[in-house]
Amino acid sequence: MTSHKIFIKALFATCIMLGTVGCSSSDSTSDTAEESTDETTTEEVTAIDETVEISVIIGQTSGSAVAYQATLGSKVQIKILNPDADDEFHLHGYDLGGGVTPAGQEAIIEFTADKLGSFDLESHITGEWILTLVVEE
């Protein structure tokens, strides 16, 4: 087994152990008081001059084993494309997303990584776990 496959399996197991929480509803307007096991910082976060750019194509570069890292305080830009179907995306812990994005059009989620922990991005339409963002100091 290659070290890349071992890393992916270890990362997947770690995410499972962290008790990631999925959406309890497909209604995007009901994002109230979601329970989260994410670590968060209570200190004031100073923005740093770093931008993490993430591009994902559903069905090609997405999935539960896909993880990206960002530094606390960095700017994050996630571009998501579903070439085959309309989709709606949600980043847990940050409660970011938008309305339905038509098939073949890119959705963009931009924010400052001001919370520590692991955050899952999922589709509200298919329920697919698209990626995990890990924010570290």
CB of 45 closer than 8 Å to CB of 74? no
pLDDT at 128 over 70: yes
Query: What pLDDT is attached to residue 46?
Result: 78
Which position has the higher pLDDT, 55 or 25? 55
CATH code, domain with 66: 2.60.40.420
Whether the Cβ atoms of residue 93 and residue 122 lie closer than 8 Å to each other: no
CB contact at 8 A, 38 and 137: no
Report residue 7 as tokens.
Answer: 């890393």
**pLDDT value for 47:** 77
Domain for residue 41, yes or no? Answer: no
pLDDT for 43 equals 55
Is the model's pLDDT at 42 over the cut of 90?
no
> Cβ distance 71 to 136 under 8 Å?
yes
Number of domains present in the structure of the chain: 1
* Percent of the chain at pLDDT exceeding 90: 61
- Domain residues for the domain of 12 are 3-23+46-136
H or E element that contains 133: strand 129-136
Does residue 39 lie in a domain region? no
